[in-house]
A and B are shown apart, each in its own frame.
Chain A
């Protein structure tokens, strides 16, 4: 077992840290949270640094990285501004990752070079009002009429829904629960495609929307993977899950690291202010518990990622990681706010934002309960 980062990966981390330090100081992150506007400018700068190309194969103009590189990016960006990670995810995860894993040659040639340059945003249109944890319950239909598929239905909680250029749209094309799902690459400018922005507790700046599809016509060639992709949507989706769970694990780790920094700084200030060492013992011990669990979470996540890059079966490990990292980050944010007392409750304090941000991570990308169901299955239960 060896999941130490390579020299290139360490350099990548340094590159992102430098980027974060220069481009996303605390005021910028706070401004993004306050305004709740999609951070096009910073995404552009990320692209200029070549960071949107991180997981695109070299032959399509990318850097050829994989899950670990994406995690490093998610972790480092989340420390400063988690919302950026999701905006970034509209390129790297929902764009490059999906097209590379499931697209046909034409789609790869068409989209990957532009995704590498950060010129396109993709949304992932799976969830529906009645299909959350029960994702296979989707009702959005695509029917072949003449030479085109006509899509009708709606999608819920779609990250990047109002800003994306394309939405990977999961539709029902046959009655079979799992084998009757087809995903299309739908141009969001298509007639009949409309959106409604949804305001969230946290992750301000990351766009979330409800999507309505009214007689949206798309050619068969827009099926993800080409016409052979018909009714392959579920299998295609499952292929992406390890990567998504790992990216979300990294987001949680990044937020928790920021929370730890905040709470440790605040305690140092208390000590400097003359609060006696003995009266802080219980608080210090709680901080130690937080730090220990965070370290365990980090090791689990990067170990699972290493397995994935080695093509070792790791559904159990990535699900464990998604569950454990996000729940740990939530616990850390909750404990930190408790320790900080009245100062933590003020909007001046970043930890309240950490809590607001982290609360979606135990829900999105498969809830904690869903991850536990998956792990239980892998344990033969």
Chain B
């Protein structure tokens, strides 16, 4: 059951709001009627002939017909003579009409027509399609309002009146709370602002704003975000948005009816605006205005879009504001008009591309924020993608990935990194997306499918590097995108690395470095199966558990894995001919272990630890070429051959 006092407050608020709404509507309607422009057309004056002109005309007729037989003027001749002599207009007009003798056709003095023609001829610098210019040029303003009470005064009176009524029940609430007073003052200041008054639909806006304030006064006293600054930015943005929305006034009002405006006025905006200085506040206002206008345009496009915005407006704005919170300086850079374009483009793309998709509010927010963030950090991508249909495809793709099984795996920064990686590749190869709109989703699923099933050890950086490396490889060689083999192979290698991290074989940092290398290896030889790099990884994992692990410290390990992998891949088939599949890992381990033991003895005698990767590569190459004896059947020769490789290497180094 609702407590008695809460119900009382609610009834007061509702009654006050109703009264306020009606009175504001009447006042604003009056203002529109009284102060609205008026198109006032001038009269066209047809210049009637003057008395001298009429007289001259009739005199000419008399002259030209003089002496003719029979007289064409007949009995009129003496009458015309009399009319000319007396100079009275009725007679002159009468005979002039009868004999068709106006000196010339009647001229027309047409001030408005002449003005319009002059504008057309020499007003090329005036854009008469522009409503504001037409208004200035053609219409007559109302002039000074001679009432004693200005609009601001009357609005103030209404609000004060309503607030007083409201406060009669809750006097302490309204009158003693400085936050409440501050907020009411802010709203009043905005009510009285001329640019708001002139906006179609501003009545609804003002009512909405005040309704929000009233609601806030009732329910969030003490925790209400005060802020003149916030309210100013929000209301200013709405005013500007209405300007931008132009003809879509009804839709804009519809937008106001959604949950979003309440959200803007009182919700996340103060968070985003908290750290802004005055000039940034202005930029934010402009930014929000364009986004709101974009949204209202989308809202106008279809009932589906309207439903979409009604349901998702909060999330969309949330994404934008969240991005502003983290990327504010980039987006609010006055010298970077692209930032604003990016926001509006993302808004439009979200509205168009996601409204029919199976997305949730959270996904919408994440996708929007991720794409915006990525765009903010990559000006080049920004310039290429803004105004591109590809942006919609990209957003759809991001949302699809986020709405799939991989959703749980992607949180926070990794989503942005993924988007950045995708953008990084696609900015140079937009054809990938155009040819296969679902490519990013498909490719990411191939890459991360196995990884997502791995234990959660915080492998976001591994996944991110994997996606970046794989997409970079695709950028270099687009054929890798086809078929799915490359993506799945890289994904399996990553999953193996994740397992090794889990088992303590590699650190996450090393794993991240390794995946980049192994993806490169896979990309260079597309026939290579994922099992070969995975085998090398396993072997190095084992080596790290042995006595020679110290030799593989730091960057030596990834470089060694690279050197060994490249040689191993090159000679993989030859080795497979000589060794059983199950035996190969052990043989490689023995080879590398023995090699490391020999290197360890030589370190400080002409070679350093940094030479280890190259040496191991050399050994594997010799092994692949069959230059070493068989370890098991002829161990003596094997070791002798190995020593020979070591000796050659030392000699070369010397």
A joins B in a complex: no
